[in-house]
Structure 1
Amino acid sequence: MMNNAMDTWLEPEELEVLTAEYRLSLNPLAADSAFCIPFADLLNQEKCQHYLRRVGDIFETTSETATVSLFAKRYAYLVVASGLYAMSLFNKGLNVTLENGWIESSYQGEVWLPKARLLNTRISMPQAGLRKEWRDQIIQQMFAGNLSRVWNALSKTAKISKSVLWENTAIYVYWLYEKKYVEGASFEQRKQFEEDYHYLLHDAPAHLFGESRNPLQQFNSPKTTTSESDTPIRVRKTCCYYYLVSDEPNDYCSTCPKRGH
């Protein structure tokens, strides 16, 4: 149990939301384990490269750079989506440490959407008056203790910039708090989402992310209209390399800096 926190469990209705909407899993895959791997094995270069070769087949690309970037999008989502939602809405902290998780996945020719399976399902709640301290510990465990370590390993394995991997992470955090989480939320729930989101973007110190700068703040560009979008969008600072796996030439994402906007 972490400092400033009490041990508890998820309620059935809370667990149902996290498993149905945010790709949390508590059960191992019964069969077809080709795309299942412990989180911690991503730090092992040999095991990680073997896994990424299989993932590259899903994306139908031989580009290691594109494979790692597209994989990182999915890994970032399955780590942060359920964890931040539980933190902000339920006031509960999932144990998303590297040692406590598996990527659970099968693939039958559709969109590849892996899930995160947690081994230890006990969770934490802040003690009275200590939510800010508890929140820091949840953020640090999720980002510095998991994503930063995996991004460091992947950037060395595939010679890809960590900036790409962190921006892949950031765009999901922006979307989750700005769009997904607030769907159907009450006024009080929205207030908590907004408070935590503001903290993540503007006040959370860099060490909670295991970096010299807060990456969520670093990539939080002002939204702007473009020649292709009347709705203001946040143009990326890095390219995610999706165009390398597209069937269309120069098929850049709508927010890609390569478009020129």
Structure 2
Amino acid sequence: MLNKKEQSELAEKFRCTFKDNSLYRLSPSSCMDESTLRVQLLWIQQTMEAANLRAAASMLAKRYSFVVVAALYSFIVFQKKINASTKNVSLHTEEVKTMWLPKVFISEIETTEVTEENHEILLDELLDELFAYQLEPIWSALRKVTKISKLTLWENVAVYIHWLYDLLLANEEIDNMQVQKDLRYVLEEAEGHHFGSYHNNQLVRYSSPPQYVEKQKQEIRVRQTCCLSYQTGAKETYCRTCPVICKSKKGVSVHD
């Protein structure tokens, strides 16, 4: 079971909530139904002032990625596997703002303790719950409704998992060896069937090392696809990791 301290930590780091105070709710099942999904995307488009449904779809994928990183954080740090089934998690909007930052609602806080004996089995079960049974069906529906590429949707998730990776490696209180082992497995080694009807891991193509971007004078992990966030609200600017600006002829050089 997630104790109060752990619940607070998930709430602070990953916008999790354990109380249903939602004004607007997006359940996994509703996101898998094309007709319902279209209505939800129209709401997201209006709320975020997005240029089109493709941009709204990408934003939904980015927000849904917090379900993944919260579950992985609990698994690695608390050594507790949360119930990440489609019946136990959903996105709850408690206030409507242009940024649209919904919370990850976890209905039941019962967990399974992760031990050396069950570690590999439980991690595979978690990946099935997150990817094969949840994200892949949602990505398929988003693809059908908006024609957005699944490459963009999977990279949205990969970006947040890499962010989690960096966050955990910077924490000296956590076993770095186990962090690297677990996240390497998720990002590179897990078999394709954990992501749906695939032969290959859908995140491995996004595991290239950071590149030195001359314009920004730092190493960053340049995206392969544009997340379309520049098409929302009044932003009209590209992310600092966007391939549109980072992969220009004078924009990027790679360290040997």
Give your verdict on TM over 0.5: yes
Letter matched to residue 191 of structure 1: M
Quick one: which of 22, 39, 42 aligns to 1:53?
A: 42
- 2:149 is the alignment partner of 1:155: no
User: Which aligned runs of 4 or more in structure 1 are off by greater than 3 angstroms?
Assistant: 108-111, 182-185, 246-249
1:64 aligns with 2:53: yes
Alpha carbons 1:170, 1:215 under 8 Å: kept: no
Matches within 5 A, 1:243-258: 243-245=230-232, 247=234, 251-258=237-244
Cα-Cα RMSD: 1.9
Pick from 137, 154, 174 the counterpart of residue 166 of structure 1.
154
CA distance in 2, matches of 1:59, 1:246: 6
Q: Assess, with a 3 A threshold, how the Cα gap between structure 1 residues 17 and 248 changes in structure 2: closer, same or farther.
A: closer
Q: Which runs of 5+ in 2 are unaligned?
A: 252-256
Q: Residues 17-166 of structure 1 correspond to what in structure 2 (within 5 A)?
A: 17-29=9-21, 33=23, 35-77=24-66, 79-109=67-97, 111-126=99-114, 129-166=117-154
Q: Do residues 235 (structure 1) and 231 (structure 2) align? A: no
CA–CA distance in structure 2, aligned partners of residues 22 and 229 of structure 1:
27
Q: Would you say the 8 A contact 1:27–1:117 is kept in 2?
A: yes
Q: Deviations over 1:38-60 (max 9, x none)?
A: 22110111211111111111211
One-letter amino acid matched to 1:241 = L
CA distance in 2, matches of 1:246, 1:41: 25
Distance 1:109 1:63 in 2: 18
Counterpart residue identity of residue 135, structure 1 = L
Q: Which digits, 9 at most, give the CA deviation of each residue in 1:62-114, with x for residues without a partner?
A: 4111111112101112x112100001011111111112222111334363211
Contact 1:39/1:98 (8 A) holds in 2 = yes
Given that 1:89 and 1:192 are in contact with CA atoms closer than 8 Å, whether structure 2 keeps it comes out as no
| Aligned position for 1:4 | none
Q: TM-score, normalized by length of structure 2?
A: 0.88
Cα distance in 1 between the residues matched to 2:131 and 2:235: 34
Q: Is the 8 A contact 1:36 1:103 kept in 2?
A: yes
Q: Which secondary structure does the structure 1 equivalent of 2:80 belong to?
A: coil
**Which blocks of at least 5 consecutive residues in structure 1 are unaligned?**
1-8
Candidates 188, 195, 212, aligned match of 1:202: 188
State the 1:115 CA deviation: 1.1
Q: How far apart, CA to CA, are the structure 2 residues paired with 1:184 and 1:222? A: 20
Distance in 2 (CA, whole Å) between partners of 1:194 and 1:104 is 31
Distance 1:36 1:246, change over 3 A: closer
CA deviations 1:19-38 (Å, max 9, x no partner) are 222222111116xx2x3122
Please state whether the residue corresponding to 1:196 is helix, strand or coil: helix
**Percent of pairs identical after alignment?**
28
Residues 10 and 87 of structure 1: is their aligned pair in 2 closer, same or farther, counting only changes over 3 Å? same
Match of residue 254 from structure 2: none
- Displacement of 1:127 after TM fit? 5.3
Structure-2 separation of matches of 1:248 and 1:237: 21
Cα 1:183/1:224, change in 2 over 3 Å: closer
Partner in structure 2 of residue 181 of structure 1: 168
1:246 shift after superposition = 5.6
Alignment coverage as a number of residue pairs: 246
Q: CA–CA distance in 2 between the matches of 1:127 and 1:241? A: 40
